[in-house]
Amino acid sequence: MSVSETYVRYRRTLSEEPLAIGVVLVALWMVWSLVTGLASGGIQISSLASLIWDGLLRGLIIGLAGIGLSMTYSILNFANFAHGDYLTSGAFAGMATSYLIAGIGENSVGALLLVGAGGSVFGGALGIGITTAPIAVVFGAVLAGVATIALALVIDRLVYRPIRDESGIALLITSIGVAFALRYLLQFVFGAGVRGTTAAGSVPRVNVPAIDGTFRVTAHDISLVVVAAGLMLGVHLLLQRTKLGKAMRAMSDNEDLARITGIPTEQVIRTTWIVGAGLTGVAGYMFVLWKGTLGFNDGWLLLLLVFAAVILGGIGSIYGAIGGGIVIGLTASVSVIWIPSEFGRAAAFMVMIVILLFKPEGIFSGRSTA
Amino acid sequence: MSVDDLRGRFEGLFERDVTLVLAVLGTIYLAYILAGVAFGYELRGQLNSIANLTFYIGVFGMLALALNLHWGYTGLFNIGIVGFMGIGIYVTALVSKPPVAEGGAAQVGGFGLPLFVGVLAGVVVAGLFGLLVALPALRLRADYLAIVTVAFSEIVRFTMMSRTFQTFTVPDTIDLWLFTFDPAADTVGLGGGGGLILNYTDPLEALLRALFLWEPYLGFVAFVQQNFISNNPKPVIDGVVYGIVLLVGVGLFYLLLSRTGKSPFGRVLKAIREDEDVANALGKDTDRFKLTAFVLGAALMGLGGILWYSGRGSITPPSFRPNITFFIWIALIIGGAGSNTGSFLGGAIFAGLLYEGPRYFKNLVETAFELGDAPRNFGEAMAGFASLDPMPFVLYTLDSISQLRLVIMGVVLIWLMHNRPEGLLGHRKETASSVDLARPGSGGSTGNPAAADGGEEQ
């Protein structure tokens, strides 16, 4: 690094100093108010634990959805704004399957396939849940992944492939078009209403003791943890033990170079979509199973948090996406200790903006796996 | 090339632009008037339909022009437009709404200052928030800037919705060091999820009063009542006149932005768009130029938001979802980023065809054919196919046209990005150079300034 570069960096750091000081002061104030709150009993440890548990689960969903976004972001080099609607599509496909398996014979097939559009069938009445209808849930999750893979491949073939060589911004704008078309087609088919999808009352739950109380853990929480951890481990092995991971890393570094060294780039791109979309679809389904409601806007509302996670973790890193997801999920949940609850998501966005300002390459950068 | 020659070329360009704009507007208006005839509208209905169309052409044209300053001129990928619009109209409401004590049904009051003060404050505050976003964010890559701006617009919406900012009580007197200040306001705030009732003077009335045209205007309304529309013509005429005011506003935006674009300041912006490092190397403080452009554009977006919503009677947070931002982007991309005429044309075509068009199409079909009730959901619509009857599906499709028009917008956007990413007039993207870059002998024939990439696209 030359002298002048060092000088410029030094000057830039100096000019950023006031912001950095501000961030540190805010952090200190947060720690202080948390400690005093816990000491005086204003904040109960059990409610803190409950918030952390909620944030962790939320983070797992965001992380799972983020892996797919991160992979396409680094390989295809664009921010896919339709990713949130892939989540919703997966959720609808999976739930339609679950409804069909749980309710076939007693209800009309059409109403089941439309996930009870217009209040024709209710998930609660069908007893959708991991303990009450395990087969329906497992098949639902699998089909959510499969359907999202099919959707992503079709969209890639029709929309993204013809303009593969365009700039990232052109692709981003195109993906906004895809997002619009997909989201409102879903509304056209499944209706605008938000429906309850699970038999929330009959999900088994235990109260885990914390020091001054308990917090609740449900069977759906556990299944979310199991599925998320399993899939993350699977992706890790896939990218570490096969040539695919290496090819993907090569492509995200330099696509032309990868192609002339004999890497079949189109095939790698297809595999990327398959892995990414599969995870996204399952994440969408688990999200809906976990929160118990489904609307056509769900994925879009989650998308910005997923972006935040991916940027936080460093684009292209699957560990980054998972870690970033958990940080973002925890921020959105736990921040209500310090600020009004309606600003939880805003706090997560602020964390993302602050990271972008100080470390735009993300906190896990340099350890990219995909 | 002589000065006269240049001027002649510019005038030629101007004339052609005017013809083009008039032709497009004429076609859209003609289609709407014909649709009105088909609906059997009286004069009142026609005027209403025209006023509505003009309103959307005006606001989308204006906002597309403001976005053109960000994206077309400077290359700043801002997808937080609706945030600046919301800030503009909310600040205007806060400043100009009367205090609760005088405000009738409104739960939340304002400072009761004249409307023009409110508009000015709205524009200034939108610009200041532009500064707040731009100061840290402009160093970022384009796609990161996009995500930061859309996150910003969502934070703005959360703030509007939050209970924390719903109401504040203003103390009777405020002691400021040397002097004491006695505000008229009692309870102010952002109104939370219920939004704000805009119970200030009607903006059109305020404007006409300021121009001393209010009495003549009332006289004109009375004249229309006597001769054309006997039954309460004022709302209709208000709508038409407000539409004309908006079109004048578009004209002012256009003048401001094309002057900016041709100024030395604008040339630096275009240079930044083409290659920021080069502009930097030539000694331009590009951060500063980007900042100024961003703030100016944000202030114009604030003004656009004010003009859009100030006559609405009330505002609620759900109006400020990111969808509006994307509408404006689609308008700009239809018209062609980089060209002011194109931006306005894009706004007009978007408003006439994609935004309002599908609804008119639905009404036309419903007028032309006697149609029964539409099925309530997709299942019932598809059930018709079992007996080879497509009608339920057709009816359901027509009934869902307000959602499907967003699908159409998405498909149009994809199609444009595939087939004509430069839009209608994007090939006219102005160069960063102040001199003609066309090669001698070949440049003069087309009459267009060379495109930024050396004219390869032509």
Q: Which of A77, A186, A353, A354 to mutate to test the interface with B (most CBs of B within 10 A)?
A: A353
Q: B residues 76-105 near A, CB within 8 Å?
A: 77
Q: Nearest by CB to A79, which of B146, B161, B333?
A: B146
Return mean pLDDT, chain B: 85
| 8 Å CB contact of A177 and B418 | no
| 8 Å CB contact of B378 and A191 | yes
**Separation in Å, CA of A350 to nearest CA in chain B:** 8
**Separation in Å, CA of B82 to nearest CA in chain A:** 16
Give the nearest chain B residue to A309 (CA atoms). B147
**Separation in Å, CA of A317 to nearest CA in chain B:** 17
- For residue B144, list chain A residues with Cβ-Cβ distance below 8 A: 311, 356, 360
| 8 Å CB contact of B148 and A356 | yes
Q: Nearest by CB to B377, which of A118, A170, A311?
A: A118
Give the tens place of pLDDT for each residue, A66-115. 999 998 888 888 899 999 999 999 999 999 999 999 888 888 888 888 88
Q: B residues 139-158 near A, CB within 8 Å?
A: 139-144, 146-148, 150-152, 154-155, 158
Give the tens place of pLDDT for each residue, B91-148. 999 998 888 776 666 778 788 888 999 999 999 999 999 999 988 777 787 888 898 9
Q: A321 with A70: CB under 8 angstroms? A: yes
Q: What is the mean pLDDT of residues B440-448?
A: 49
Q: Which of A77, A160, A176 to mutate to test the interface with B (most CBs of B within 10 A)?
A: A176
- For residue A117, list chain B residues with Cβ-Cβ distance below 8 A: 377-379
- For residue B136, list chain A residues with Cβ-Cβ distance below 8 A: 19, 353, 357
Locus of tokens 């300034």: B449
Q: A residues 194-233 near B, CB within 8 Å?
A: none
Q: pLDDT tens digits for chain A (370 residues)?
A: 566 666 666 666 656 566 677 778 888 888 888 888 888 877 888 888 999 999 999 999 999 999 999 988 888 888 999 999 999 999 999 999 999 998 888 888 888 888 887 777 888 888 888 888 889 999 999 999 999 999 999 999 999 999 988 888 899 999 999 999 999 999 999 988 888 888 877 788 888 887 888 888 888 999 999 999 999 999 888 888 888 888 888 888 888 888 898 888 889 999 999 999 999 999 999 999 998 899 999 999 999 999 999 988 888 888 889 999 999 999 999 998 888 888 888 999 988 888 887 777 777 765 445 4
Give the nearest chain A residue to B75 (CA atoms). A169
Q: What is the mean pLDDT of residues B317-344?
A: 92
Q: What is the C-alpha separation between B151 and A351, in angstroms, rounded?
A: 11
Give the model's pLDDT for residue B317. 92
> Which token pair is B63?
């906002």
* B56: pLDDT strictly greater than 60: yes
Give the tens place of pLDDT for each residue, B260-277. 988 889 888 888 888 888
Give the tens place of pLDDT for each residue, B158-210. 999 988 888 777 776 666 666 666 666 777 888 888 888 888 888 888 899 88
Using a CB–CB cutoff of 8 Å, tell me whether B162 touches chain A.
yes
B443 falls in which pLDDT band (50, 70, 90)? Answer: very low
Give the model's pLDDT for residue B87. 96
| 8 Å CB contact of A178 and B403 | no
- Residue A370 inside a domain? The answer is no
Q: How many domains does chain A have?
A: 1
Q: B residues 419-438 near A, CB within 8 Å?
A: 421
* DSSP 3-state of B110: coil
Give the model's pLDDT for residue B262. 86
**Separation in Å, CA of A308 to nearest CA in chain B:** 8
- For residue B77, list chain A residues with Cβ-Cβ distance below 8 A: 169
Give the tens place of pLDDT for each residue, B369-393. 877 777 877 877 887 777 778 888 8
Give the model's pLDDT for residue A256. 85
Q: Give, rounded to a whole angstrom, the gap between the first and last alpha carbons of chain B.
A: 22
Give the model's pLDDT for residue B454. 41
- B159 CB contacts (<8 Å, ≥6 apart)? A343, A346, B165, B190
Q: What is the crossing angle of helices A265-291 and A45-76, to 10°?
A: 160
Give the nearest chain A residue to B192 (CA atoms). A342
Give the nearest chain B residue to A344 (CA atoms). B158
Give the model's pLDDT for residue A245. 82
- For residue A121, list chain B residues with Cβ-Cβ distance below 8 A: none
- B15 CB contacts (<8 Å, ≥6 apart)? none
- Residue A180 inside a domain? The answer is yes
- For residue B147, list chain A residues with Cβ-Cβ distance below 8 A: 79, 304, 307-308, 311, 352
Q: What is the C-alpha separation between A306 and B249, in angstroms, rounded?
A: 39
Q: What share of chain A is helix, strand, coil (3-state, %, to 5)?
A: 75, 5, 20
What residue segments make up the domains of chain B, in order of their start?
51-321
Rg (CA), chain A: 22
At residue B154's C-alpha, the angle toward residues B152 and B155, to 5°, is 65
**Separation in Å, CA of B10 to nearest CA in chain A:** 31
Q: Nearest by CB to A174, which of B148, B383, B417?
A: B417
Phi–psi pair at A86, nearest 5 degrees:
-65, -40
CATH code where residue A121 lies: 1.10.3470
- Residue A329 inside a domain? The answer is yes
Q: Nearest by CB to A360, which of B140, B377, B412?
A: B140
* B434: pLDDT strictly greater than 70: no
Give the model's pLDDT for residue B456. 41
Q: How many CA atoms lie within 13 A of B437 on its CB side?
A: 13
Q: Which amino acid belongs to residue B131?
A: L
Q: What is the DSSP letter of A164?
A: T
Q: Nearest by CB to B378, which of A117, A304, A307?
A: A117
Residue A316 region, left (φ>0) first, then alpha (ψ -120 to 50), else beta? Answer: left
- For residue B143, list chain A residues with Cβ-Cβ distance below 8 A: 78-79, 168-169, 172
pTM of the model: 0.89
Is the Cα torsion angle A344, A347, A349, A355 positive or negative in sign? negative
Locus of tokens 């959510």: A144
- Residue A190 inside a domain? The answer is yes
Q: What share of chain B is helix, strand, coil (3-state, %, to 5)?
A: 70, 5, 30
Q: Nearest by CB to B404, which of A168, A188, A191?
A: A188
**ipTM of predicted assembly, 2 dp:** 0.88
Q: What is the C-alpha separation between B373 and A203, in angstroms, rounded?
A: 41
Give the model's pLDDT for residue A47. 86
Q: What is the crossing angle of helices B357-368 and B401-419, to 10°?
A: 130
A315 DSSP β-pair partners: none
Structural domain span for residue A134: 44-358
| 8 Å CB contact of B403 and A117 | no
Q: Nearest by CB to B142, which of A120, A169, A182?
A: A169
Q: Where are the beta strands (DSSP E) in chain A?
A: 195-196, 205-210, 213-218, 293-294
B235 falls in which pLDDT band (50, 70, 90)? Answer: confident
Q: Nearest by CB to B161, which of A19, A177, A342?
A: A342
Q: What is the C-alpha separation between B425 and B75, in angstroms, rounded?
A: 17
